[in-house]
Amino acid sequence: MSEARPPDDEAQRAKAAVPPRASKSKGTNRPRPAGRPGRPAPPARGRQARQAAHRRNRTYAILAVGAAVVIIAVVVAFSVSGGSGGAPRSPAPAAAVDQVNAITVSTLVEGNGRITPTTYAATAAGGALTQNGKPEVLFIGAEFCPICAAERWPMTIALMKFGTFTNLGTTHSAVSDGDAGTWTYYGSTYSSPYLSFVPRELYTNQPSGSYYKPLDTLTKAEQAVWTANEGTNLAFPFIDFGGQAVLESAQYNPQTLYYKSFSEILASVGSNNNTIGAQINSAAAVFTKYLCNMTKDQPSSVCAAVAKVNAPVTSSGNTGTSTPANGG
């Protein structure tokens, strides 16, 4: 038996039907094989091309403007929020200043009768501190510092009993450092017939590298006073009462104010029916007494009201916590 031959491929191809060619004459409907893309339309010319280009350019312009608006919005939002450091300082509302200024000395004394401060001032080193013939209060702090944030509240209340602030600001400790609402003295002025107040806010609450952006600078004399009292272990806050006493911590637990906004704390200040208000009022009464020690009990109406407030000056230094300066 002979072996069967496979089909002849040439023969099979010869049998395949060959489709007729379409005519190349104009007007003939030339069939298009399935799946084969048509020839692209010829590009628009003249007026149509200009209109199409105009539409494209207008679309690109709208998209570019939209992208620019988004970028600007992001940059502005980042600036306002202070980046990772949170919002920077703002002018203090006049209503807030008036509210704090209106707190009576009797309210401060009442708060002191309810809550006792945990930290008192210590004996100062470096000799008397004066400015323009008046005893000087030197404050060295930083806006990022949460302990400074806590002590600025009673300090501001007490100083208002002796003089007037202009251009006070509000801020908060660093977001990573309690984010506590508080005052800032940067850019402010203070006038009093009884004493001088020299505030130095050395750093902002805005992170920069491994620390914070610098702000105020100290004079050589101010640096010498700070060093005379703290040696190489410089810390915030530092408050020198005319060279008589120094306070190197908040008078109460600063964590009481952690993660509370300025307005939240302000709502409690002046009242002794809540912990925040009573602590701040009590500390303000003691701070007032220290100021009276400087001014020889002037003004008499204020100093007579705090005469019985316990405000010792210890010889062993502060027992409260402080914030190391210069990243130490």
Residue 320's pLDDT band (cuts 50, 70, 90): confident
- Count of beta carbons in the 10 Å neighbourhood of residue 223: 14
> Do 252 and 233 touch, CB atoms closer than 8 A?
no
Q: Which amino acid is at 49?
A: A
Residue 179's pLDDT band (cuts 50, 70, 90): very high
Copy the structure tokens of residue 36. 């084969």
CA–CA separation, 307 and 288 (whole Å): 10
The ranges assigned to domains in the chain are 90-324
Residue 88's pLDDT band (cuts 50, 70, 90): confident
pLDDT, tens digit (0-9, with 9 covering 90-100), for 101-118: 999 999 999 999 999 999
Q: What is the pTM of this model?
A: 0.75
pLDDT at 18: 44
128 Cα distance to chain centroid? 35
CA–CA separation, 324 and 212 (whole Å): 13
Q: Using the structure block, give the residue that is written with the tokens 């009292």.
A: 229
Buried b (16+ CB within 10 A) or exposed e, 46-82: eeeeeeeeeeeeeeeeeeeeeeeeeeeeeeeeeeeeb
pLDDT, tens digit (0-9, with 9 covering 90-100), for 289-310: 999 999 999 999 999 999 999 9
Q: Is 137 helix (H, G, I), strand (E, B) or coil?
A: strand
